[in-house]
Structure 1
């Protein structure tokens, strides 16, 4: 198998497109020499939750698997592969996989007959797995395996590059908060809850909105930066225990534009941009206080003008603001929070599907809340 520099540049260039599109480009190239590979997919590993979750895929035969999660520890085979770094070849899926997991049943339903699975790592830590599937039995010969290992390395490099860029942004914003000496700006628990609430809601609404797992993961990664602009708000406004007066509210609302400015300085713009597909990040920062009826700020967007990622984060943020401890308000019960979200959705402010996701997955959200509690009674700053 041969690869040319132009192909490698397009496959790995983070500014070229989304990871999903780059995987499709890799698949196109692979099919020239190994036409029997009908599907390439990558699942990411969340070590905190011990969870494998579908991420990106290029599926040419069969129905793509999306929105699926599975505990790594529940799979002896995958756990062993993660620990050893070894590959797995299944020449006959029907005979080799006898379990009734969602993934195994899905493989059978699609008609895949053989597979090749490779664990991928970043800095010695498990990133996830790359799966190659074929409608043919015995498709993954020794020569094919050697070719696919090269492609796996390209996929791993592309994912590592993107995640490294995300981590760079997250670290830079953390440092920015520390340099401004804004104490008790946002607890780590609040940011973790926000990210995981947003991911639950995104996971629920993505299929009906035509969004893929890469979108869900981006919302999860970027939602914690929604209020980054508050590092530029004076403490006497940000931490005021009582109601803001009109002048203070004007100051508070500037945190949105401040946040966009911070993000642009960190990741750059145009050709100097250092983060792949930053649209979702900018939309979250710029639009998370917009309401669908036009009553939000700073641009009074209406309806479809408010991007889905911002709608998701807005609902997650309100749910956390109501149910988490704040120095200036009492804690709402989950039932009270749901009633308030319903009221806002019925009033045309919030996305009904996002609110419905909170209802449908309340037990999951409460588990997140209980797992990531604030250490003190002084949690995140006021939500305005």
Structure 2
């Protein structure tokens, strides 16, 4: 079997193909998993081959608490456990599970991005002891290939994101303050998604995608006439109706852009378009544009809805001062199950201290013509 990878495959499809190739060559190989690093030095799973087992944790908290993982990060070299049975009885629960599955040796390799920054770890398991000592060069190559796939996926996201950022920068020339609003919404969205990821409600790829694409949610606003978009007066019913068209306008704009660009995979495309089109839906079904209800609203949109409103409440606007944290929490909780997904509300309210840190890290630079409808 040859390694033939098409550019239009998703990251999962590429890694699945790589996993199948290894299985064909090495019967004692079990599978591999890949975890990426978040801002708090924790690892979250972005891929797990079918043979690796469902017991691999979706979230590994605080990498610095694990001597193995911190050493791996510092040495930049593979870390190999030749025989897991030698670690009993102090061995961790995850390794005990692997031993029961006849996975007796393990190899972990660091993943770096194009800027030589540590971004994750690849874990590989085998059924026999000392497997990786005997096949080290091959599996070093495999980890390099997997790293290239990971980096390629990141680069595609960043390339498309840079295109959209250019559009946003041009659109925001009258409103520089909004740039930090978008950055904060992305950070809050990742905060919420990570919380849900810990509860196995989404995977690492989803978390990454939501973070990269959350700040595109309002791109349709910049197809709204300036006299409405930048108005500081209360909207008339007619003006509000025009403003409420921005999710559908943004959806159509990005759909056309993506068709012309052609560099984004279907799974990313779906997340981007769902965020743009559905971030004003309400959990009770009274939102727009499609009046979706509950879990019929895509999870990515439910996350961005809470992140967007949270930032609007915490931020200064020409027509209001920032709300105290206690009032923001109260508002979100009162809207839980009505305007907002209860789990997303739980996620942000339990992490409000981190949300406050994000707010301070990316402060507003106010102008007199800030968009009143942000949020």
TM-score normalised over the length of structure 2: 0.85
Q: 1:258 to 1:207 in 2, by over 3 A?
A: same
- Find 1:8's aligned residue among 4, 7, 12: 4
Per the TM alignment, residue 64 of structure 1 is displaced from its structure 2 partner at its CA by 2.2
Deviation, 1:52, is: 4.2
CA spacing shift, 1:15–1:245, aligned 2, 3 Å? same
Work out whether 1:225 is the aligned partner of 2:223. no
Superposed counterparts of 1:67-146, under 5 Å:
67-71=59-63, 78=69, 81-82=72-73, 85-93=76-84, 106-111=94-99, 113-126=104-117, 127-142=119-134, 144-146=135-137
| 1:275 paired residue among 259, 264, 267 | 264
Cα distance in 2 for residues equivalent to 1:188 and 1:52:
28
CA distance in 2: counterparts of 1:259 and 1:228, whole angstroms: 5
Question: Does the C-alpha gap of structure 1 residues 231 and 141 become closer, same or farther in structure 2, counting only changes over 3 Å?
Answer: same
1:198 aligns with 2:185: no
Q: Which of 253, 257, 260 is residue 266 of structure 1 equivalent to?
A: 257
Partner residue, 1:148: 139
Q: What's the RMSD between the two structures over aligned residues?
A: 3.0
Preserved contact between residue 325 and residue 377 of structure 1 (Cα < 8 Å) = no
Structure 1 stretch displaced more, 62-71 or 277-286: 62-71
Deviation at 1:31, TM superposition (A): 1.5
What's 2:362 paired with? 372
* Structure-2 change in CA distance of 1:375 and 1:50 (3 Å): farther
Return the alpha-carbon distance in structure 1 between the equivalents of residues 90 and 367 of structure 2.
Answer: 47
Assess if the C-alpha contact under 8 Å between 1:41 and 1:132 holds in 2.
yes
Counterparts of 1:292 and 1:333, CA distance in 2? 25
Which of 309, 313, 327 is 1:336 aligned to? 327
Quote the Cα distance in structure 1 between the aligned partners of 2:258 and 2:194: 26
Distance 1:265 1:186 in 2: 28
The range that moved more, 57-66 or 88-97, is: 88-97
Cα shift readout 1:71-102 (whole Å, capped 9, x = no counterpart) = 5x6667656655664322221356579999xx
Aligned mates of 2:44, 2:365 — CA distance in 1: 29
Corresponding residue of 2:315: 324
User: Size of the alignment, in residue pairs?
Assistant: 367
CA contact (8 A) 1:185 1:231 kept: no
TM-score by structure 1 length?
0.83
Distance in 1 (alpha carbons) for counterparts of 2:170 and 2:365: 22
Contact 1:315 1:355 (8 Å CA) reproduced: yes
Paired with 1:79 and 1:241, the residues of 2 have a C-alpha distance of 52
Q: Give 1:20 shift.
A: 2.9
For the structure 1 residues 158 and 234, does the alpha-carbon distance in structure 2 shift closer, same or farther, using more than 3 Å as the test?
same
Unaligned 5+ runs, structure 1: none
Per-residue CA shift, 1:6-54, capped at 9, x if unaligned? x422xxx35334x2343233222211222333341222245x6555443
Which SS does the other structure have where 2:327 is aligned?
helix
Contact 1:116 1:132 in 2 (8 A): yes
Report how far residue 135 of structure 1 moved. Answer: 4.8
SS at match of 1:60: helix
Q: Is 2:14 the partner of 1:25?
A: no
Q: Does 1:315 align with 2:311?
A: no
